[in-house]
Amino acid sequence: MPNPKRRFSNSRTRKRRTHDKLTPPIIPLSENIEKGGIRSKLYICSHCKQTTQPHTVCPNCGYYRGKQVIAVER
């Protein structure tokens, strides 16, 4: 069976993996609609329409992925 003859260098490995990175989603904010939206690290909550961090419970309404997870006092 064929085996690698030489070790891959760190730079070659990193050049290959540069396309595996995650990018933040595009949020179409009203002031940036003509620009096609902006890349941001914030999501818009589907329940209360407030900006939240990704993969976290919304601190404003307590919803996560369409379900109420915690009770928030208003």
Q: What is the pLDDT of residues 28-55, one digit of tens each?
A: 555 555 555 555 667 788 889 888 888 8
* Mean pLDDT of the residues in the chain: 80
Domains of the chain, by residue range, sit at 10-68
pLDDT at 55: 85
Which residues in 42-58 are b (16+ Cβ under 10 Å) and which e?
Answer: ebebeeeeeebeeeebb
Which residues are CB-neighbours of 60 under 8 A, at least 6 positions away? 45, 48, 50, 52, 72
pLDDT at 30: 54
How much is the pTM?
0.44
Q: Are strands 43-44 and 38-39 parallel, antiparallel or unpaired?
A: unpaired
Q: What's 39's DSSP letter? A: E
pLDDT at 45: 86
pLDDT at 25 over 90: no
